[in-house]
Structure 1
Amino acid sequence: MKIREAEEKDLKQIMEIIAEAKAYFRAAGIPQWQGEYPGVEDIRRDIGNGGTVIEENGKIIAYCFIAAMDDPNYTDIEGEWCNHRPYIVLHRTCVSSFSKGKGVGRQFVTYATQKAQQSGISDLRADTHEKNASMRRMLEKEGFLECGTIFVADGSPRVACQLVLDER
């Protein structure tokens, strides 16, 4: 498996994985990603700005947006962040259906950790729907703490998680 920055040529495969994730969420009764988000334009904006893929045997098997940025949705939280230092976000994490349960998503956390350390950043943040048990479980296994609830652009709540790297 190889992790690398996403390229325009990856767009079709990334969108296929996102479609699989949307179908999985729908079947599992998780009301996350049931509209147009994330769409082609969201991923196009990600490419070159933190869009990251995991590739195996020439095929994209997972996607995540990983970037050092202030997420405006993280400004207001019902709860409390561990600290208010700069952080790297992990957004739009999705793994192809045939690669689920193989630790693929954890590789994004490792990659984000390396990126953070290279940049002098010691925090990672992510959010997910409260019913997205697989993402919550992966974040917990990687040492993320659930800090509270944030609200995304459409007003729906998300579980806000943070990993403080210098406390690992």
Structure 2
Amino acid sequence: MKLPRSMLIDDPLEEEVDEEEVIAPCVIPSGLKRLIDVMYPDVNNQAIATDEYFASRTILTTTNVMVHRINDAVASRLDGDAHEYRSIDKLQDDDNWNFFEPEVLNSVNINGIPPHKLTLKKGAPIMLMRNLNPDLGLCNGTRFGWWSSSPMSSTPRS
């Protein structure tokens, strides 16, 4: 795909608000706040924000840093309490433990791997990155809303 001009936003959190601006489909709004307003206008309305609602909306970005900024911005708009999940910070094979301190493992930030600390709120849009049990019928990349949790697992709405 070839773009006719640079589509980068200088500072996605700072933006000028033009109340009369009309955003047509396939037009990139300027600023992260405005982008989220356009992509997820009904994110707190459970009657509208169904799995199909989330499956039909995607914000793409090229870096994990921006992914985390977008996720935090969307989560800040959701009602309710946040639930924090942390990754396991040790290796199964303890022979190599000296090479990988927990701080090093927790700082890994590569594509396809969730962050060490994941904060979710009820209704948050999530994407299944890797299904360890495909017999249950979910595919990698499936998008849905997150609706409940327990200390050891999280459950999308069925």
**TM-score over 0.5 for the pair:** no
Q: Which structure is higher in helix share?
A: 1
TM-score normalised according to structure 2 size: 0.30
Q: Which has the larger radius of gyration?
A: 2
Q: Which structure is higher in strand share?
A: 1
Greater RCO, 1 or 2 (C-alpha within 8 Å, sep 6+): 1
